A and B are shown apart, each in its own frame.
Chain A
Amino acid sequence: DVKVTQSSRYLVKRTGEKVFLECVQDMDHENMFWYRQDPGLGLRLIYFSYDVKMKEKGDIPEGYSVSREKKERFSLILESASTNQTSMYLCASSAPGGATNEKLFFGSGTQLSVL
């Protein structure tokens, strides 16, 4: 089974702090994604990556950056955390090519609270 591991289940940070959310997958997937989940808004794509060192903006990239130095690891960075970034953050991965590349495997999520 694919395993996507997010380093923290819960995080509490202060406004203005730099925050790192880490995600590791063990299935050699090329594609990795960061989503945030908010009530009434569903899952919204922040950033994604199709290869090492490569990144693409999603629908809501403002206030975030990412890093993909190794194939298995995709990090989400909040440069200066703000209260409106309080959310559930979900990392996902998928294999490239064909109809199955759209099938995402998600981690358990990180509930981030910014005070």
Chain B
Amino acid sequence: DQQVKQNSPSLSVQEGRISILNCDYTNSMFDYFLWYKKYPAEGPTFLISISSIKDKNEDGRFTVFLNKSAKHLSLHIVPSQPGDSAVYFCAASGNNQGGKLIFGQGTELSVKP
């Protein structure tokens, strides 16, 4: 049972435009959400997070939006740059997860010059 889902395996965006990556979850006990970025042959690196008490968190070009009623979060990258090309993983955690992170399948973003 996939508790965290990223339904788009890939996304292609033109440089300078907005990239929107989506993530859905099923477990209403999740209260903390994170996005990780992964380049080939490297481990994932933390990008941005959001607590369930917020609906938006912004860090430079990256903004994460959380819609608790829809159990949906999204990552916006504005403006997109070729260096943003990577696989992005959504992850969730909650009190009933014992501190573990549950990851989605990942979305491969390609930003074309």
Point out residues on A near B: beta carbons under 8 Å: 4, 9, 31, 33, 35, 40-45, 48, 50, 56, 58, 90, 92, 94, 96, 99, 101-109, 111
Contact = CB atoms under 8 A, between A and B. Distances in A.
A40 B9 contact: yes
Interface string B30-51: 0010101000011111100101
Contacts of A40: 9, 105
A105 B47 CA distance: 11
Nearest to A9: B41
A43 B105 CA distance: 7
A56 B4 CA distance: 21
Given A48-B100, A99-B51, A102-B34, A41 B105 contact: yes
Contact of B44 (A48, A94, A106): A106
A31 B99 contact: yes
A43 B89 contact: yes
A57 B28 CA distance: 23
